[in-house]
Amino acid sequence: MTRYSIVADLNRCVGCQTCTAACKHTNATAPGVQWRKVLDIETGEFPDVHRAFMPVGCMHCDDAPCLSVCPTTATRKRDDGIVTIDYDLCIGCAYCTVACPYQARSRVDLPTRAFKGKTMKHEVVREDPKRIGVAQKCTMCSDRIDFGLENGLIPGLDADATPACVNACIAGALHFGDAEDPNSNVSQLLEKNQHFTMHEELGTGPGIHYLWGKSTGNDEPAPEPEMIAEPLGMPGVVPALQKSWDWRAASNFILGGSGTSLFLATAIGGTTGMSMVLPGLLALAMVGLGLFCVWLEIGRPWRFFNVFYHARMSWMTREAMVGIPFMGLGFLTVLTGSIPLGVVAAVFGMAFLYAQGRILRAAKGIPAWRHPGIVPLIVATGLTEGVGIFAVYAVIVGAGSSSLQTLASILLILIALRVFAWSSYRTSLGRIGAPTGTFAAFAADPIKLTPTHQAIPVVLLLVALAVPMLSPVLVALAGALALASGWVFKYGLITRAAFNQGYSLKKMPARGAGLSSPGVKPGWTTN
Amino acid sequence: MTKTAKTKSQVHSYCYQCVAGPDILKVEIEDGVATQVKPSFEIADVHPAGGKVCVKAFGLIQKTYNPYRVLTPMKRTNPKKGRDQDPGFVPISWDEALEAVCGKLNKAREEGLKDASGYPRVAASFGGGGTPTSYMGTFPAFLSAWGAVDMSFGSGQGVKCYHSEHLYGELWHRAFTVSPDTPLAELIISFGANVEASGGVCGIKRHADARDRGVKRIQVEPHLSVTGACSAEWVPIRPKTDPAFMFAMVNVMLHEIGMARLDVPFLKNRTSSPYLLAPNGFYMRDPASGKPLMWDLKTSRAVPYDTPDADPALEGSFKVSGQELGPDQVIWNHDQVDCCPAFAALVNHVKDYTPEWAAEICGVKAEQVRSVANQFVDHAHIGETIDIEGRTLPFRPVAISLGKTVNNGWGGYECCWARTLMACLVGGLEVPGGTLGTTVRLNRPADNRWTSVKPGPDGFMHFPMNPTKKGEWKSRSSSRHAHETLIPLAANSPWSQALGPTHLAWMMQKENFENMPDATPPDVWFVYRTNPAVSFWDTKSVSEVMAKFPFTVCFAYTMDETNYMADILLPECTDLEGLQLIRIGGSKYVEQFWEHSGFALRDPASPPAGESRDFSWIATQLAKGTGLLGAYNTAINKGAAGVRLMGENFDFALDPDVEHSVEEIWDASCRAASAELTDGAETQGLEYFREHGFRVKKFPKLRWYLSPALEDQGLRFELPYQERLLRIGQELGDRLHEQGINWWDRQLKEYEAMPHWQDLQKLWETALEDGFGIKIGDYPFWLITARSMQYSWGGNAGLQMIHEVASNIAGHKGVIMNPSAAAKLGLKEGDLIEIASPLGKTKGPVVLRHGIRPDTLLMVGQFDHWETPFAKDLHVPSMNALTPMMLELTDATGSGADLVKVKVTRLGGAA
């Protein structure tokens, strides 16, 4: 097998950005889009300071998170290790963008010009309409490699078969070749030098290897880099708030979670003789509106049907696939009042909710999302929100005291579960570490899922249980608070706490006869 | 709809936007539009960096199609000039533009080439260390045909170049710029040299290769530059205290390490170390021959320096009789007076410059200084040799490089002297692994360092000083900055005007200097590829001066801050649109050491945009319009456009009386180039170069090293003692005083035989206090600058792509500051601050980095544009607006340094 890889020699790299510029030329990327770039990283404090330059881009991972999440199969992996994007399939959902822990992907929705409002000749000639509204990233210049192979050239050795960034590298820092071939240039470099890959702990198997010192013959693995909570002067290196998924995506998590759970509550209420029409329609409308919001967010909305292409791996496909029977059966339930249909629809709804949790869990690029605790938390809050709405509905339609007491009990349990899920998630995340901005965003939420904040609905519900005559008001209030807490949390989770992985450097390189020094994981902290 | 298949082709070109070029490249063309710049791997075996191309070259596509280009000739309609005046440019035809320009030129010519003050009526300013000639086609031939032209209005020369290095480097070892022999070096000590930002593809490749094989580079500078980042060690020294560090290194070598571990044979035979010093500080000479004497240990007597088989003493004191030659041929006869060798005087000279002394001044530990000096000697491999192309040469793999602000302005002499001296102490000057010169610009011939080595006085190389002797001194210079009058070392080659005190040209326009000719403005000022209104100092004053020039012609790319003051704008073909052949190879600036030399073609990759015209066409029209066509063609024939069209075996000379097309001119040049490279055997023209892009022949690697040329002629390096400078300094002082000029007295003190330490920080602070009436304590920070590889020399601040990629490197968007200093002022990352010097103020966001001294601020590059499209919206500060042009801060070579004291005020929070 062939495994094309890039080796970046950090001792040689000078941060000149020639690779960045050459990539922009070769691939005609839009202004602001850099498939390849070089970071400027500083460690230490005056006067013991080190500075290094680190080329980054798509890592063409062995186990590429972008590939597994892609709902359309637009992202694929070639036998030679290159991760590709089929622009004709991609719907521009940006799931891959948030799944990539290397910030390698971007989406451009409109033709952009270097000089605003003014078009240059070469921009017109180089324009590729296929690339509008879809995911894009480094292709490893696969067209050059393929051309080279077709013409008997050796990628990495012959310029016409080698990625443009490697060809352009003036410091000779970038090398390209087959890492599976022990005699290749890159294998030889890896053999003779100490090296690491970025974010090894994520298990992605990156295809860019960084050399940081000569091999001693008895090399120890580079230690994990130190987290620096508030590094200075490295805005392009530290985790940044993801911008790919905004309020529209948040709406899907908010409305989808609440809606499916509301439908579950509706179906259960139906078994007690309550009407399923109004709450059922509300639930379906919420889920539908959430999906509509997502549709508004994707870059190629009229290809939305491609979302169904990747059930084997993508939780987004699975969410969509269970969403259809949920919506269909849900409507039938409302129309017919059939309890069995309602139960089946509710089961699909729960699958939808679970899928939402798994969607976030699979987004490896966002530390706040990928934590395993996110799934129970999303499910718990979805259920709490759904029951919270149902409680409000029950009060409005004048449900009986016993029903309200039952609802209060259920809500109480769900709030407790959600608090537990949140606390477990938050404690674990704090122990593992996450971007500083993530913790700050959670701390800034006006209503939190913490025991302190959730004590209010809990007290309200306990009073409601103790004093039935007060139940309608207190249950409605508690339900509304439970709902609001969940919505605030999810909105914050998607739009404010979703800092990406950022970059890290395991070892500062030895420069010439100098010594290597500890690396850095800037913008991260435990909390 | 089926899209028509694109037609693709490639042409050969080059990028010579900065002095570290040229980079040979290819341009891909799709459907007639230049779309990509690519490395040229065809030249990989010839080019020292394997045909790779610098990041700046990738900006050429945007440069070509920049929507803000000036695309028609324009004329100013508002007679008032100034930043507050809308120039009211309106398009005109080429006929009208040429008529206007030639009309002014012809009027100037009628009145005489020089005005009443003796200054040329026509002036011209070009940027980029001579690189514009690679884009101006045959314009040099027009200038040559014209006659006297004043090039003293600088755009950065003198204040932002390696000025002291240019002058002293050429004097001592034909080194217009100095480079380590990086491919062989083991240890490089870099005082602020930022080769990873300014070394171009060759420099970066050579140093990356060196790091790969384990070279140790120690970077001594106030901030952790890109080069510091790539070094094994960073020593954060106080700004402008480098001479103290280097003097202390010399002290360690001479007083701690001792002579036994130095290269004694080199000192005895290849330097002036054994020359005996007479009581007045000049050499003791043999009365018969006038030759300096040295003490022969074999015969125990004084003998002329060139006595065969002598074993000269380096230490001790000896009773000697002889003659001493002072200024203006004054002769003192001495009888049995105490004389010591120059080396012994050196030992005594540096005895107080201990590491402990330097540590206080430099803000570094004494042990660091001591360690660096010891490493320098440890790595010198004294006694070892290496074979280069069949010749055995000393192998000394240690070198010291100097950066800007270190090797220009006050202190530049000290640093250049100490650096070159230390190379001598270990025998590492101009030998493999050591400290090398790259090219010559003041000596002649300019294309051959070896043949520029001619015997001069006292066993040293000849140097074409401007005369200082009575009756020979030029009280009236041919330039407005008086380089022939004030700067003997500037010589008077075609490059000398650019190496004069170029800020004096601007200053004199504002205030007449006592007993100098009236500082008249030029009748016609040509400007090309430079923007002194941004790139010089005290940009406000410079802009005000140029606004007073009566007729300015700018070869304009886009509107900018300088051509805003122009009367006529002429749009020339840019880099990728013009046609030209240039010389490549040999050894050139920075780290351009080739093993080939020859020619490369810039073939148009895109048709001229709008009404822009090839520069050679414009030059021809100017020659025609001024009646100089014959002289112009003759100048081309003589090589003014880069290659002589006639030689021993060939003659492609143009008919002087006929107007030739651009292609005819360059076809003839290509044929002459082919013939020159093949001794007339081949004569292919433009088509050959269009197909191949370049043509070269071998350049002997041995010629990278100057020492064989000196050795073959029995010459010595003029170190450590500067007897010649001492003499001309005194002569110059006498001449100036005779003329009533006393304002240059401070500069005269620099003419020391061996430089003493002077407190440069204090010098700056005092000058600012005296000049502006401020309390220096109110300005707590030193402000410095650093090169940006993406921008430097490129004139590309208006290109979005360059801005985009440069932004990946810290400091391109604001002012770099140490966090501890910021904390004391309550400043946070991104806060908007005002930075004020005694001269002016600017503003920008704070960029916090630990890699800078707390007493120092850094502004990368040169921005502060207010007219250049795109760049004017970047709002990035530049220190140029804050740096004053002051006589007090001008050294004897006429240069200044990028350094000023500033204070900081917070204006607002992060945007």
Distance from CA of A56 to the nearest CA of B (A): 12
Level-2 CATH architecture, domain B74-126+463-571: 3-Layer(aba) Sandwich (3.40)
Judging contacts by C-beta atoms under 8 Å, the chain B residues touching residue A172 are 205, 208-209, 212
Q: What is the mean pLDDT of chain B?
A: 96
Q: Is B311 left (phi over 0), alpha (psi -120 to 50) or beta?
A: beta
H/E element, A185: helix A185-192
Adjacent-strand bridge partners of A8 = A174, A210
The reply to whether A212 and A318 lie within a common domain is no
Q: Please report whether residue A503 resides in a domain.
A: no
The reply to whether A76 and A186 lie within a common domain is yes
Distance from CA of B798 to the nearest CA of A (A): 10
Parent domain of A97: 4-240
B736 shares contact with chain A (CB less than 8 Å): no
Judging contacts by C-beta atoms under 8 Å, the chain A residues touching residue B36 are 25-26
Calculate mean pLDDT across residues A214-239.
91
The reply to whether A8 and A58 lie within a common domain is yes
How far, in Å, CA of B369 to CA of B373, rounded? 6
Judging contacts by C-beta atoms under 8 Å, the chain B residues touching residue A211 are none
Give the CA angle between residues A254, A255, A259 to the nearest 5°: 125
Instruction: Inform me whether the pLDDT recorded for A422 exceeds 60.
Output: yes
Q: Please report whether residue A483 resides in a domain.
A: yes
The reply to whether A484 and A349 lie within a common domain is yes
Q: Are A26 and B36 inside 8 Å of each other by CB?
A: yes
The pLDDT value recorded for residue B1 is: 39
Q: Are B217 and A172 inside 8 Å of each other by CB?
A: no
8 Å CB contact between B403 and B160: no
Cis bond before residue B501 (omega within 30° of 0): no
- Chain B, nearest residue to A19 by Cα: B55
Cα torsion at A116, A117, A121, A124 (round to 10°)? 100
Instruction: Inform me whether the pLDDT recorded for B888 exceeds 50.
Output: yes
Q: Are A39 and B808 inside 8 Å of each other by CB?
A: yes
B850 shares contact with chain A (CB less than 8 Å): yes
Q: How many CA atoms does the CB half-sphere of B845 hold within 13 Å? A: 18
8 Å CB contact between B246 and B355: no
In a 10 Å sphere around its CB, with 0-12 CB exposed, 13-18 middle and 19+ buried, how is residue A288 labelled?
A: middle
Q: Are B850 and A44 inside 8 Å of each other by CB?
A: yes
Instruction: Inform me whether the pLDDT recorded for B910 exceeds 60.
Output: yes
Judging contacts by C-beta atoms under 8 Å, the chain B residues touching residue A510 are 232
Q: Please report whether residue A506 resides in a domain.
A: no
A45 shares contact with chain B (CB less than 8 Å): yes
How far, in Å, CA of B532 to CA of B520, rounded? 19
8 Å CB contact between A19 and A169: yes
Q: Please report whether residue A523 resides in a domain.
A: no
Q: Which residues 186-225 on chain A approach chain B with CB closer than 8 angstroms?
A: none
Judging contacts by C-beta atoms under 8 Å, the chain A residues touching residue B208 are 11-12, 14, 171-173
pLDDT digits (tens, 9 = 90+) for B411-446: 999 999 999 999 999 999 999 999 999 999 999 988
How far, in Å, CA of B837 to CA of A501, rounded? 42
CB under 8 Å to A423, separation ≥6 — which residues?
A: A450, A451
Judging contacts by C-beta atoms under 8 Å, the chain A residues touching residue B238 are none
The reply to whether A292 and A181 lie within a common domain is no
The reply to whether A182 and A262 lie within a common domain is no
Phi, psi for residue A282 in degrees, rounded to 5: -60, -45
In 3D space, the residue among A389, A320, A306, A360 whose CA is nearest the CA of residue A498 turns out to be A360
The reply to whether A29 and A147 lie within a common domain is yes
Select the residue of A38, A114, A171 nearest B205 (Cβ to Cβ).
Answer: A171
Judging contacts by C-beta atoms under 8 Å, the chain A residues touching residue B848 are 232-233
pLDDT band at B774, cuts 50/70/90? very high
A49 shares contact with chain B (CB less than 8 Å): yes
The reply to whether A234 and A253 lie within a common domain is no
Q: Are A24 and B805 inside 8 Å of each other by CB?
A: yes
The pLDDT value recorded for residue B153 is: 94
Instruction: Inform me whether the pLDDT recorded for B580 exceeds 80.
Output: yes
Distance from CA of A81 to the nearest CA of B (A): 26
Instruction: Inform me whether the pLDDT recorded for B311 exceeds 60.
Output: yes
A17 shares contact with chain B (CB less than 8 Å): yes
8 Å CB contact between B415 and B164: yes
Q: CATH assignment of B759-908? A: 2.40.40.20
CATH number assigned to the domain comprising residue A420: 1.20.1630.10
The pLDDT value recorded for residue A221 is: 85
Q: How far is CA B324 from CA B278, B281, B284, B337, in A?
A: 6, 9, 5, 11
Judging contacts by C-beta atoms under 8 Å, the chain A residues touching residue B66 are 115, 120
Q: Which of B10, B190, B223, B809 to mutate to test the interface with A (most CBs of A within 10 A)?
A: B809
CB under 8 Å to B539, separation ≥6 — which residues?
A: B533, B561, B864, B878, B880, B881
The reply to whether A341 and A258 lie within a common domain is yes
B460 shares contact with chain A (CB less than 8 Å): no
A230 shares contact with chain B (CB less than 8 Å): no
A159 shares contact with chain B (CB less than 8 Å): yes
In 3D space, the residue among A127, A152, A243 whose CA is nearest the CA of residue A500 turns out to be A243
Instruction: Inform me whether the pLDDT recorded for B583 exceeds 50.
Output: yes
How far, in Å, CA of B498 to CA of B530, rounded? 13
- Chain A, nearest residue to B808 by Cα: A39
Q: Lowest mean pLDDT: which of A107-116, A214-223, A265-274?
A: A214-223
Question: What percent of chain A has pLDDT above 90?
Answer: 95
Question: What percent of chain A has pLDDT above 70?
Answer: 100
The pLDDT value recorded for residue B446 is: 83
How far, in Å, CA of B186 to CA of A513, rounded? 9
Amino acid symbol at A431? R
In 3D space, the residue among B308, B304, B307 whose CA is nearest the CA of residue B294 turns out to be B304
CB under 8 Å to B436, separation ≥6 — which residues?
A: B173, B175, B178, B179, B180, B181, B399, B430, B587, B593, B704, B705, B706
Judging contacts by C-beta atoms under 8 Å, the chain A residues touching residue B228 are 51
Distance from CA of A236 to the nearest CA of B (A): 7
Residue recorded with tokens 């930002």: B197
B6 shares contact with chain A (CB less than 8 Å): yes
8 Å CB contact between A306 and A268: no
Q: Please report whether residue A502 resides in a domain.
A: no
Q: Please report whether residue A510 resides in a domain.
A: no
Total domains present in chain A: 2
Can you list the positions of beta strands (E) in B474-591?
Answer: 524-528, 552-556, 568-571, 580-588
Q: Which DSSP symbol is given to B256? A: I
Instruction: Inform me whether the pLDDT recorded for B911 exceeds 60.
Output: no
- Chain A, nearest residue to B65 by Cα: A120
How far, in Å, CA of B303 to CA of B339, rounded? 13
The reply to whether A204 and A283 lie within a common domain is no
Q: Are A511 and B217 inside 8 Å of each other by CB?
A: yes
Amino acid symbol at A291? L
pLDDT digits (tens, 9 = 90+) for B388-400: 999 999 999 999 9
Calculate mean pLDDT across residues B540-545.
95
8 Å CB contact between A37 and B808: yes
The reply to whether A182 and A310 lie within a common domain is no
Q: Lowest mean pLDDT: which of A166-170, B2-6, B538-542, B591-595?
A: B2-6
Q: What is the mean pLDDT of chain A?
A: 97
How far, in Å, CA of B128 to CA of B528, rounded? 10
pLDDT digits (tens, 9 = 90+) for B224-274: 999 999 999 999 999 999 999 999 999 999 999 999 999 999 999 999 999
Q: Lowest mean pLDDT: which of A47-61, A360-374, B489-503?
A: B489-503
In 3D space, the residue among A306, A350, A367 whose CA is nearest the CA of residue A65 turns out to be A367
The pLDDT value recorded for residue B4 is: 59
Calculate mean pLDDT across residues A507-524.
97
The reply to whether A181 and A113 lie within a common domain is yes
Adjacent-strand bridge partners of B283 = B277
Q: Lowest mean pLDDT: which of A219-223, A316-320, B150-154, B664-668?
A: A219-223
Calculate mean pLDDT across residues B655-677.
98
Distance from CA of A485 to the nearest CA of B (A): 31
pLDDT band at B156, cuts 50/70/90? confident
Q: Are B816 and A233 inside 8 Å of each other by CB?
A: yes
Q: Please report whether residue A515 resides in a domain.
A: no
Residue recorded with tokens 């392009």: A236
**CATH: 3.40.50.12780, 3.40.950.10, 3.40.228.10, 3.50.50.60. Which one for B174-443+708-736?**
3.40.228.10
Q: Would you kindly state where each structural domain of chain B is located, as residue ranges?
A: 8-53+576-701, 74-126+463-571, 174-443+708-736, 759-908
Q: Please report whether residue A420 resides in a domain.
A: yes
Q: Give the orientation angle of helix A315-336 with respect to helix A247-271, to 10 degrees.
A: 40
Which tokens in the block code for residue B256? 């701690």
B800 shares contact with chain A (CB less than 8 Å): yes
Q: Are A11 and B212 inside 8 Å of each other by CB?
A: yes
The pLDDT value recorded for residue B636 is: 98
Q: Are B196 and A24 inside 8 Å of each other by CB?
A: no
